[in-house]
Structures are given as structure tokens and as C-alpha cells.
Homo-oligomer: A and B are copies of this chain.
């Protein structure tokens, strides 16, 4: 099984060209789209989406990820074998979250032209290098055939929450299409403030402080009202029931927030 994640969008034929290449080499493989609507060149957002999705796919799934502003430059095309899955893409940090999440077994640089398209363009390695590599890997070609082992894949800074004096300092990791705001604060960290369902929390950001209830799910508060909850990624989430919290609060990836227990 091969998945695809890119910032190519779906209006052009680029994603289809990748699928055609894969299926020409390996017609029996199943291809699943993760998303092609990563914000263009936003490696951080791509890394986060990939890490969210990968854990739900079967063991040994091959994930091809292409958010690649440096395509055709010296950045390396790589394959990373983790304890749960394989990752293929540019070595620009995009694969780092998910590689760290599962633990790396082995990484190689793709250098063997035998497993690339005959003519490799300078601008579309998704089609010319990453897709063929995925198709051949799914066919059973072993990692060492693709190129030399490497041990220094490019890192991406993973923002970690800090807890001091009953205050958690975190940041916005992600806002979704509903406008729900996912922070980088896992439920285990929030638990240290001893907040129970129904309690209030104080959310500080910029010059604002809001007091909002901590609940189980959106529908536990009236439509249009704000709440805090543990979302489906086990992270603290700020949301408005059937509304768009990210828009309402003007929050985006990286917005710094503080959480303290309310009264």
C-alpha cells in the first residue's frame, strides 16, 4: 500500500502523473491520498498531517510525501524505514516528525538511477524519483539497492509545551477546515493542572484572556459557544460548536498560548 501527501493541489495533472508512474511499475499496488492540499511549501504543516495519518495505516505502508521547495537542488531524495512504516520524500524535515514518532530503523539516499524514471526533470521529483522508488519498494526491492545509508536526516523543530507554576505555555500546532484549533499540549500535560470536565480554563494569547469550559465534545455546549476539549489527536483543542474558532480568534500555526486553571 502506498499513500501520497503533497502540496500540489488537485486541479493539475501532477498527482495523476505520480499515480500513473507507480501503477506502470507496480499495477497491483493500492494508492491512497492523504491530502494534496498542504499549504504550498509549508513543510511544517505537511509533517504534522503525515504524522497524524501514518499511525492509522497498516504496518509497512509506504508514505510518499512531497512538499519540496528545494526540488532539483542539492537536498537529498531519501527513504526512511521506521518501526511502523516507510517514508519517501525530500530530506528537508518533512519526514522528521513521523520518523521520530515511530523510530528510525534505517535511512538511505536515493541515488540509483535504475529506480528512477529514465528522464529525471529538475522540477518534479515526485513523479520522477519518489513515485518510482515507492513502486519498486512495494515490489520488494531492498533499501540498500536504492543508495547509500545515511544517518543525518534533516530535523524539524518540534514545538514542545512548557509547564511552570500551574501554567502551561504552548502554541497552535494546526487549525483544521472546521476552524478547530489544535495546540501542542497533550492530555497528559493538561492533566497536571488537574482540570476536570466542566471546569473552566483561562486561555491567554496576545493581550486577551478568555475563560472557557473544558468539555468532552462540541455538542455539549450551545451552537456558537466556545469550548476547550481533548481532540482526536489527544491534544488540547479550542473550538466553537458548529463555528470557526481559528477565524474568530485570529489564531494560526505558531500562535503562542497560555493555559491556567480557571476559577
Closest B residue by C-beta to A33:
B16
Contact string, A53-69, partner B, CB cutoff 8 A, digits 1/0?
11111100100000001
Taken together as a complex, chains A and B put the C-alpha atoms of A57 and B27 apart, in Å, by 10
B37 with A32: CB separation less than 8 A:
no
Known: A12-B35, A123-B232. A73 touches B220 (CB 8 A): yes
Taken together as a complex, chains A and B put the C-alpha atoms of A69 and B220 apart, in Å, by 11
In the complex, what's the smallest C-beta–C-beta distance from A164 to chain B, in angstroms? Answer: 29
Taken together as a complex, chains A and B put the C-alpha atoms of A151 and B176 apart, in Å, by 36
Task: Report B-chain residues with C-beta under 8 Å of the C-beta of A55.
Answer: 20
Any chain B CB within 8 A of the CB of A231? yes
Task: Report B-chain residues with C-beta under 8 Å of the C-beta of A71.
Answer: 217-219
Task: Report B-chain residues with C-beta under 8 Å of the C-beta of A38.
Answer: 11
A49, A70, A218, A241: residue with the most chain B Cβ atoms closer than 10 Å: A218
Question: Which residues of chain A from 76 to 129 have a CB within 8 Å of any chain B CB?
Answer: 121-124, 127-128
Task: Report B-chain residues with C-beta under 8 Å of the C-beta of A19.
Answer: 32
Known: A57-B20, A219-B69. A231 touches B123 (CB 8 A): yes
A55, A123, A124: residue with the most chain B Cβ atoms closer than 10 Å: A123
Task: Report B-chain residues with C-beta under 8 Å of the C-beta of A61.
Answer: 20
- Give chain A's interface secondary structure class: loop
In the complex, what's the smallest C-beta–C-beta distance from A182 to chain B, in angstroms? Answer: 10
A24 with B56: CB separation less than 8 A:
yes
A21, A50, A176: residue with the most chain B Cβ atoms closer than 10 Å: A176
Task: Report B-chain residues with C-beta under 8 Å of the C-beta of A153.
Answer: none
A53 with B122: CB separation less than 8 A:
no
Known pairs A10-B10, A12-B35 / 9 extra A-B pairs, C-beta < 8 Å:
A10-B37, A12-B176, A13-B34, A13-B50, A19-B32, A72-B217, A75-B219, A122-B216, A122-B229
Give A contacts to B, CB under 8 Å: 1, 3, 8-17, 19-21, 23-24, 27, 30-38, 40-41, 49-50, 52-58, 61, 69-73, 75, 121-124, 127-128, 176-178, 216-220, 223, 229-232, 234, 237, 241-242
